[in-house]
Amino acid sequence: MTTSPSDIDHQLGNDAQILWRIIQLCLHYRGRVLIAVGATVIAALFQLAVPPLLGSAVDGALGLLDTVSSAKSDARTTLFQTAALLLGVSILRGLFTLIHNYTGEAVGHMMANGLRLAFYNKLQGLSFSFHDRVHTGELITRGMLDLEGVRMFVSTGLMRLVLLTILIGAGSYLLLSADLILGAMSLSFVPFVAWKSAMARLKLRSLWLALQERMGVIGRIMDENLTGIRVVRAFGAENYELAKYGEAADTAMALADQRIKTRVASTTIMTFAYFIAMGLVLWVGGLRVLEGRLTVGDLTEFLTFMTILQSPVRQLGLLVNSFARASTTGRRLFAVLDLEPTIADRPGAKPLQIKDSLVSYENVSFSYDGDDGLPTLHGVSFKVQRGRSLGIVGPPGAGKSTIAHLLTRFYDVSDGRITLDGQDVRDVTLESLRRQVLAVPQDPFLFTTSLENNIAYGDPWAEDGSIVNAASLAQIDTFIGSLPEGYSTLVGERGVSLSGGQKQRIAIARTAMLEPAVLILDDSTAAIDAGTEQQIRELLKAPMKSCATIFISHRLRTLLHADEIIFLKGGRIIERGTHDSLIAQGGHYAELHFLQNQLDNELDNNPSSIKGAAQ
């Protein structure tokens, strides 16, 4: 299965396929696209009508000078009508230009809105193995800057392509049909411009890709800095962080500057070629006027056509840039949208049916991607059912939290199987499994919303009484009641306005609201004092009777009353039994128990010495 955007980049095809895919997304709004294209075509045709009218007006004005006084009235009328027609054509051109600009932008924004929702929805469904590999800042860059590049392609790419095709194509035909030699001179710069545009496109594409990757690095640095702002301030590392961010920003700035230079240089050269062609037309056409082979109005018509073509020619660079940007950003965006989650419902998956809440690990082994195949768990087996509790303890890296992640199918086992009431967790729907198996992590995440909404996150329509009961069970109701706004108090970003213990109790209350079949407490009381932990444990006794409970902790006092305790080391169960039986064995568990008791006694008997040692 695909686990990162780079894994499927080569599957997305060439640039033309990426652009065609964007066009197909635009065609979901066919009505508006037709209006935009139609308005673009009409606006272009009106613009092409300006040179003949202007040429006629010039000839009419010159004829007025040579007309006898008796015919001047008719000449003035003709000139006035031509001027009025020219004004009307210009107004209509402006009106249809307004329509095509507005509609083109509307299509781009509607397409972007659909992509934005699809991108966000994709992120919700991708597996944890994906989020382990791809940084948040990179995803934000793809979902914002890259998506914006795709959005702008509608107006700066597609609509501009239609407009320029008509203006250059029809204008070329009119020029060549009027005078082959002058027309050829007028269009002599086009092959050069086409070649220069193609070369610029290749370079701009590579520069845009490098810039987007660098913007992803900048996003990652900023995300890490803001997430760990307390650590940065605590260690006085502001200057280091500023230097790191500045270095990344300077690199991005250098790439952006190179892009601008490339685009401006190509546009300048193309414009210079255009003016050379115009100078040739003015010279040769002027000679023909003197020879009487052309009228001044005809020459004016040629020059006006070239003036109209000047804008499309100068926009060819912008058009190339738009295509290059869209193909690059589209590839980066689609690389995420085309990912398939490694953890998903199997075909024919059924909702989980709960009977006894019997959790069974049967010779389970597991290894994370990127660990060179080294197993994190080796042949782990245990059972726990409703009304019973299992304690899991062991040194850091032993695989304790991995056991919880496998039960909730954040990852799938590498070998063996996990069942819940005899149903393999891989054969039931993820929604039903995660409704019945809930874990309270050591470092809970709180959203920037009220305390009430954080507690009721799993059941937004819960009644106030249920929310208060859950808060009471988690021993957080007294604290909430002391706040001026009570349960309506807004929690700061990531819960920074609360202490670690308060956040953990909010997380416990959030889980207690849902009455799960399996409850996993993954060191979820580590930041809570012993007295409060004891009160929470007493209050949890009643709800624990209706579910299977798994305690994961470094503190053995959390596990004292568990029906069975397993000691993990190196991903293997090396000891198991009740607290008393494990103490009697005199093994790793007994040694850890002795060390923790000794430390607790030292803290109780001589806290100042511990403080002094810390200083």
Tell me: pLDDT of 80 over 90.
Answer: no
The whole-number average pLDDT for the span 376-381 is 91
Q: Which amino acid is at 348?
A: G
Asked if the structure places residue 354 within a domain, the reply is: no
Structural domain includes residue 353: no
Of 77-86, 241-250, 402-411, 595-604, least confident by mean pLDDT is 595-604
> Which pLDDT value is given to residue 610?
40
- CB count within 10 Å of CB 253 equals 13
Mean pLDDT over 269-274 rounds to: 80
Q: Looking at 337, 367, 385, which one is the last position of a domain?
A: 337
Summary mean pLDDT of the chain: 82
Residue 318: C-alpha distances to residues 172, 200, 529 (Å): 21, 10, 64
Do 239 and 384 share a domain, yes or no? Answer: no
Q: pLDDT tens for residues 98-135?
A: 998 899 899 999 999 999 999 988 888 887 777 777 77
Mark whether 544 and 460 lie in a shared domain.
yes
> Domain tally for the chain?
3
Sign of CA dihedral 93, 95, 98, 102: negative
Output the domain CATH number for residue 444. 3.40.50.300
Whether residue 196 is predicted with pLDDT greater than 60 in this model: the reply is yes
Q: Rounded mean pLDDT of 238-256?
A: 88
- Looking at the fold, whether 200 and 295 belong to one and the same domain comes out as yes
CA angle (329 as vertex; 324, 333 as ends), nearest 5 = 150
Together in a domain, 411 and 291: no
Q: What is the pLDDT of residues 26-47, one digit of tens each?
A: 989 999 999 999 999 999 898 8
Task: Count other C-beta atoms under 10 Å from residue 67's C-beta.
Answer: 15
The CATH number for 252's domain is 1.20.1560.10
In this predicted model, which residue has the larger pLDDT, 24 or 71? Answer: 24
pLDDT of residue 615 exceeding 50: no
pLDDT at 300 > cutoff 80? yes
pLDDT band at 214 (very low <50, low <70, confident <90, very high): confident
Cα–Cα distance between 124 and 587 in angstroms, integer? 44
Both 433 and 481 in one domain: the answer is yes
Task: Examine residue 566 and state whether it is found in any structural domain, yes or no.
Answer: yes
3-state secondary structure 504-551: HHHHHHHHHCCCCCEEEEECCCCCCCHHHHHHHHHHHHHHHCCCEEEE
Q: Is 348 within a domain?
A: no
The answer to whether residue 480 sits within a structural domain is yes
Q: What is the pLDDT of residue 83?
A: 78
In a shared domain, residues 309 and 285: yes
Q: What is the pLDDT of residues 384-436, one digit of tens each?
A: 999 899 999 988 888 888 998 999 898 899 899 999 999 999 999 998 998 89
Q: Per-residue confidence at 2, pLDDT binned at 50, 70, 90?
A: very low
Which DSSP category does 70 fall into? T
Angstrom CA distances, 253 to 207, 250, 256, 279, stand at: 12, 5, 5, 38
Q: What's the whole-number mean pLDDT along residues 290-319?
A: 77
Give the model's pLDDT for residue 568.
92
Which class for 176: exposed (0-12), middle (13-18), buried (19 or more C-beta within 10 A)? middle
| Same domain, residue pair 174 and 273 | yes
Is position 599 within any domain?
Answer: yes
Rounded CA-CA distance 151/516 in Å is 44
Residue 359 has pLDDT above 90, yes or no: yes
Give the bridge partners for 236, in sequence order: none
**571 and 593 share one domain:** no
Last residue of a domain, one of 292, 307, 337: 337
Which residue, 324, 15, 18, is CA-closest to 200?
A: 324
Range of the domain at 608: 586-615
| Rounded CA separation 296/300 (Å) | 6
Report, as an integer, the average pLDDT of 529-545: 73
Measured at the CA of 236, the angle between CA 238 and CA 492, to 5 degrees, comes to: 75
Instruction: Work out the pLDDT band at 317, boundaries 50, 70, 90.
Output: low
Q: Name the residue with higher pLDDT: 69 or 468.
A: 468
* Cα 62 to Cα 297: distance, rounded to the nearest angstrom: 9
pLDDT at 1 over 70: no
Q: Does residue 481 lie in a domain region?
A: yes
| pTM (global) more than 0.75 | no
Of the pLDDT bands very low, low, confident and very high (cuts 50, 70, 90), residue 289 is confident
- Do 444 and 506 contact (CB within 8 A), yes or no? yes
Same domain for 133 and 20: yes
Percent of the chain predicted with pLDDT > 70: 87
| pLDDT at position 13 over 70 | no
Q: How confident is the model at residue 272 (pLDDT cuts 50, 70, 90)?
A: confident
Q: Is residue 433 part of a domain?
A: yes
Same domain, 413 and 503: yes
Distance CA 18, CA 331 (A): 6
What radius of gyration, in Å, describes the C-alpha atoms of the chain?
36
Residue 603 and residue 554 share a domain: no
pLDDT at 537: 73
The 10s digit of each residue's pLDDT in 474-524 is 888 888 888 888 888 888 655 556 777 788 888 888 887 888 899 888 876
| Closest alpha carbon to 152 in 4, 329, 294 | 329
Q: What is the rounded distance in angstroms from the CA atom of residue 256 to the CA atom of residue 556?
A: 57
Least confidently predicted of 245-259, 323-337, 419-433, 483-497: 483-497
Determine phi and psi for 306, rounding to 5 degrees. Answer: -70, -35
Same domain assignment for residues 300 and 372:
no
Least confident of 122-136, 237-251, 429-443: 122-136
Average pLDDT of the segment spanning 252-271: 84
User: Per-residue pLDDT averaged across 79-104, rounded?
Assistant: 86
Lowest mean pLDDT among 200-209, 296-305, 313-322, 492-501: 492-501
- The closest of 23, 43, 314 to 163, measured between CA atoms, is 43
